[in-house]
Chains A and B, each alone.
Chain A
Amino acid sequence: EAGVTQFPSHSVIEKGQTVTLRCDPISGHDNLYWYRRVMGKEIKFLLHFVKESKQDESGMPNNRFLAERTGGTYSTLKVQPAELEDSGVYFCASSPPVGTSRTDTQYFGPGTRLTVL
């Protein structure tokens, strides 16, 4: 079974530019999560998709961040325009559908390291 994949692994952009991060969850996982870790801090929740619907986006920092999951498969997280404080590692995770015994266990991707100069 393929794990969660994320692309790119690293991205270096200048302030004001746009970056789009992609996450491919494990096949069959309805739940998809985005998290972010700013250097030295804890990993923080950004949002949660159930299939293509946003279940919880309470962690999104501001309206410069836009997440989509068209068709309920892969997801993208766009930052436009990027600011210096957006630098960090962006993790994606997925979990099986609600009603299965492993819903609460999330499987993480390798992360995308974003550097905004």
Chain B
Amino acid sequence: AQSVSQHNHHVILSEAASLELGCNYSYGGTVNLFWYVQYPGQHLQLLLKYFSGDPLVKGIKGFEAEFIKSKFSFNLRKPSVQWSDTAEYFCAAIPGGTSGTYKYIFGTGTRLKVLA
């Protein structure tokens, strides 16, 4: 079955530390990939997405992600986190060839806490 794995469930960092959150997907064909963030009390917001082209994708708020096809990975990175990055982060995928249904397959989420 198609799945998305996020191996880090909880991450605690100090401000200015670098961040890398892992995401792996199980689909071997064309895939669209997303990172969403949910700040406390807010709705899910799109951070960045990969459809094709340059595998290094830059998103909002200084986040970036790299699509590595050979590793089935789409890890999220930020060189220096801030207290305001405290949130839950979700990786999601749309496997190709879904015949018109663009349903997301989500990972379990990673809760990031940044200490001031």
| Chain A residues within CB distance 8 Å of chain B | 3-4, 31, 33, 35, 40-45, 48, 50, 55-56, 59, 91, 93, 95, 98, 103-111
Q: How far is the CA of A109 from the CA of B103 in the complex (A)?
A: 16
Contact A3 B43 (CB under 8 A): yes
- Given A104-B49, A104-B51, A108-B36, check contact A45 B43 (CB 8 Å): no
- Given A43-B90, A91-B44, A105-B49, check contact A48 B108 (CB 8 Å): no
Chain B residue at minimal CB-CB distance from A111: B43
Contact A104 B94 (CB under 8 A): yes
Contact B101 A55 (CB under 8 A): yes
Contact B104 A106 (CB under 8 A): yes
Interface size of B by Cβ–Cβ distance < 8 Å? Answer: 24
Contact B103 A104 (CB under 8 A): no
- Given A105-B46, A108-B36, A110-B42, check contact A33 B100 (CB 8 Å): no
**CB-defined contacts of B36 to chain A, threshold 8 Å:** 108
Interface status of B106 (Cβ within 8 A of chain A): yes
**CB-defined contacts of A91 to chain B, threshold 8 Å:** 44
**CB-defined contacts of A50 to chain B, threshold 8 Å:** 100
Shortest CB-to-CB span from B92 to chain A, Å, is 8
**CB-defined contacts of A48 to chain B, threshold 8 Å:** 101-103
Contact A42 B106 (CB under 8 A): yes
Contact B42 A42 (CB under 8 A): no
Within 8 A of A (CB), among B83-116: 90, 92, 94, 100-109
